Copies of this chain bind each other. A is one copy, B any other.
Amino acid sequence: MAVRRRSSRDIRSESRLDVLHALLSLGESNRNELARTTGLSPATVATVVSELIAEGLVEEAGLALGGTGRPTTTLRINRARGRIAGIDVAETYVSTHLFDAALAQVSSADVALDEHLTSPEYVVEGIIRSLKAATDEVGIELDSLLGVGVALPGLVQGKAGVTAVLAPHHSWSNIELLELLRERIAVPLVVENPLKAIATAELWLGRVRGASSMVTVNLGTGVGAGIVLEGRVLRGATNSAGEWGHSLLVYEGRGCRCGRRGCVEAYVGAPGIQETLREVDPHHPLVVTDSQRDFIAALAAAMREQTPDVAVRETLDRTARYLGSALADLVAIINPELVLLTGWTAWALGDHLLPGTAAQLTAEAPEGAAADLTLGVSTVRGNSVAIGMATLAFERFLGDVGLVTTRASIAL
Contacts and interface: CB of A to CB of B under 8 A. Distances in A.
A332 B2 contact: no
Q: Which of A3, A8, A239, A249 has the most CB of B within 10 A?
A: A3
Interface in A54-104: none
Contact of A333 (B158, B251, B330, B373): B330
A242 to B, nearest CB: 7
Interface string A239-252: 11111101111110
The number of times this chain is found in the oligomer is 2
A249 B326 CA distance: 11
B367 A336 contact: no
Nearest to A214: B237
Contacts of A210: 2-3
A229 B366 CA distance: 22
Contacts of A2: 210, 212
Contacts of A363: 260
A156 B365 CA distance: 14
Given A236-B336, A237-B337, A251-B251, A10 B6 contact: yes
Interface in A196-210: 209-210
Interface string A143-172: 000000000001010110000101000000
Contact of A159 (B231, B330, B372): B372
Interface residues of A, number: 68
A136 interface: no
A364 interface: yes
Interface in A239-276: 239-244, 246-251, 253, 258, 260, 262
Given A5-B39, A251-B262, 15 more contacts: A1-B337, A6-B10, A8-B11, A156-B367, A213-B236, A213-B237, A234-B334, A237-B372, A238-B368, A240-B366, A240-B369, A241-B335, A247-B329, A251-B325, A258-B366
19 contacts: A3-B211, A3-B230, A5-B11, A6-B6, A236-B335, A237-B336, A237-B373, A239-B335, A239-B368, A241-B334, A242-B333, A243-B333, A247-B328, A247-B329, A248-B325, A248-B329, A251-B253, A260-B363, A333-B333
